[in-house]
Structure 1
Amino acid sequence: MARFQHTVTLAPVPRRWFESCVATLHDLAEDTDAEGARLRLPDGRPLPGLVLARGPHLRPGARYRPVNEESGEPEADQCVTVRAWDRRRETALEVVTVDGAPDHPARLDCALTLTSAERPREASLSVTLTPSDGKRDKHLGGTGRVHLDLDGWWRATGRGRHPSRAPLTGTLTHAYARVGVTVVPRPAPDGRWLVTVKIRAGGRSFARPLVPLAAALLGRRARRACAESLDRAAETWNAQVPALVHMDAERLRAELTDALLGARRAHTGKE
């Protein structure tokens, strides 16, 4: 078993702002109208790059596809499906991408779940890679899962009683290896978050004894690379998040709308 631990300092995100952000995202989606396959933003402008391919807008079973910039036709190898859309209970989306490359054909399934939008308590993400190359399926496939206990996260960053379990956990499972990740925040004296990331990696099947060997040979270099990656991610977070959390709901909605239209402006060259 190989182990790694590193702590970074992050700018805090107020829970009230986060919940406002989630509500704004849902409002923007619900205020978007569907005219046949075409989607229009609340101000009437068409939403570029995405069409409604099946079902009523935002109802369970509704399916959306990105649009190919060159042909203007919906992409056949990627889709987003609404599995649940209930602000009081659960929002669930599934994203499927099929890669038909001759050398490594594969299917990637991603499922995102939020409970609930009115007062977010839990969020989870699962990813499954399923190669369709016969004998190599076992070697190239894998699954990943991330679970975030939002109630536990804000309890851990407060000054009261901390949760007994890590609020953010993840696993990555392959035929020959399994990686577990836990993320635990705690309040820093200056009000920021001290976030500790712990990683445990172990081999499976005949590769079980190889992970300790690899850790012994490459451990220092791997740990340094992981620490540097986390530090860079923290720098990006601290450079961008403080400005975002000072936005009110109206400004945030405008920024999200501009982001959705950004692809169109870049494609047409218009401002």
Structure 2
Amino acid sequence: MARFQHTVTLAPVPRRWLESCLGMLHDLAEGTEADGARLRLPDGRLLPDLVLDQGRHLRPGARYRATGAEDGRPETDPTVTVLAWDRRRETAFEIVTQDDDPAHRARLVCVLGIGSVARPREAWLAATLRTSGGKGPRYLGGTGRLHLDLGDWWPAASGRGRRPSRAPLSGSGTHALARATVTAVPRPAPDGRWRVTVKARLRGRSFARPLLPVVMAVVGRRAHLAFAEALDGAAGQWNAQVPGLVHKEGELLRAELARALLAP
């Protein structure tokens, strides 16, 4: 088994801002109307790259498809299907991206959900990649899952309240040759930011299990360095973009969301 650990410092996201943003997204979606297959924002503007392909708008089972052609004909991927739409209980979507290249077919299915938009408790992401065709397709696929306990994240990040019994953010990934688990725990930094410690464990599977210690003995230092550099890079992007976003509220944030939807 290989173990990795690294700590990054992140700009904080106020809980009230996240709740406001999620509620505004719900309001914006519910104010959008289906005009046949096309979708119109509350001000009447058409969304340029999305059509309602199946079902009733925002009802469970409604499927939306991205479009690339100017005539609005749907492309083969990706598609977004509503699994649940209830701001008090759960909102969830299934996003499917498919590559039908005969030499290497691939299908990626992601399920993204949040428990209660009105008072967010938890969020999750599950992904499954399946491949076929070509050589060794079983070694190209896998599954992964992330779970964020929103009720524990902010108390831990502020240093207030009881210390959570488990990491607020946890995840796992399974491949034919390996299984990885990851956790992230926030702590308050002296300047009010978040210091987030990320831990990961990697176990070999199948014939790779006895080989992992040998591989880590050879490339262990470089692997730990790459792990730290990847997290530092992600933290840098977060810190470059998040502070500007959290200062936008009300109509300014709503206009920014609408502008993002209208971008081709």
TM-score class, shorter-chain normalisation, is over 0.9
Paired residues for 1:245-264 under 5 Å? 245-263=246-264
Whether contact under 8 Å (2:104, 2:134) holds in the other structure is: no
Paired residues for 1:44-193 under 5 Å? 44-69=44-69, 72-133=72-133, 136-158=136-158, 159-193=160-194
Once the two structures are TM-superposed, the CA of residue 216 in structure 1 deviates from its matched residue by 1.2
Task: Call closer, same or farther: CA 1:77–1:17 in 2, change over 3 Å.
Answer: closer
Residue of structure 2 in register with 1:2 after alignment: 2
1:88-139 deviation line (CA, Å, top 9, x unaligned): 0000100111111122111111101110111110111000011133873422
Structure (1/2) with the larger strand percentage: 2
Once the two structures are TM-superposed, the CA of residue 250 in structure 1 deviates from its matched residue by 1.4
Residue of structure 2 in register with 1:269 after alignment: none
Which ranges in structure 1 are unaligned for 5 or more consecutive residues?
Answer: 264-271
Task: Call closer, same or farther: CA 1:134–1:232 in 2, change over 3 Å.
Answer: closer
Once the two structures are TM-superposed, the CA of residue 51 in structure 1 deviates from its matched residue by 0.2
Structure 2 length-normalised TM? 0.96
Identity over aligned pairs, percent:
67
Once the two structures are TM-superposed, the CA of residue 39 in structure 1 deviates from its matched residue by 0.2
Once the two structures are TM-superposed, the CA of residue 229 in structure 1 deviates from its matched residue by 1.5
Residue of structure 1 in register with 2:233 after alignment: 232
In 1: Cα distance, 2:216 partner to 2:26 partner: 44
Residue of structure 2 in register with 1:33 after alignment: 33
Task: Call closer, same or farther: CA 1:221–1:165 in 2, change over 3 Å.
Answer: same
Which amino acid is 1:224 matched to? L
Residue of structure 1 in register with 2:20 after alignment: 20
Secondary structure of 1:95's aligned partner: strand
RMSD between superposed Cα atoms in Å: 1.4
Secondary structure of 2:74's aligned partner: coil
Once the two structures are TM-superposed, the CA of residue 238 in structure 1 deviates from its matched residue by 1.2
Which amino acid is 2:200 matched to? I
Residue of structure 2 in register with 1:212 after alignment: 213
1:207-266 deviation line (CA, Å, top 9, x unaligned): 101112111111111111121111121111112111111111211110011111121xxx
In 1: Cα distance, 2:226 partner to 2:137 partner: 29
Whether contact under 8 Å (1:179, 1:202) holds in the other structure is: yes
In 2: Cα distance, 1:31 partner to 1:161 partner: 40
How many residue pairs match? The answer is 263
Task: Call closer, same or farther: CA 1:153–1:117 in 2, change over 3 Å.
Answer: same
Which amino acid is 1:94 matched to? E
Residue of structure 2 in register with 1:203 after alignment: 204
In 1: Cα distance, 2:241 partner to 2:141 partner: 34
Whether contact under 8 Å (1:107, 1:132) holds in the other structure is: no
Which ranges in structure 2 are unaligned for 5 or more consecutive residues?
Answer: none
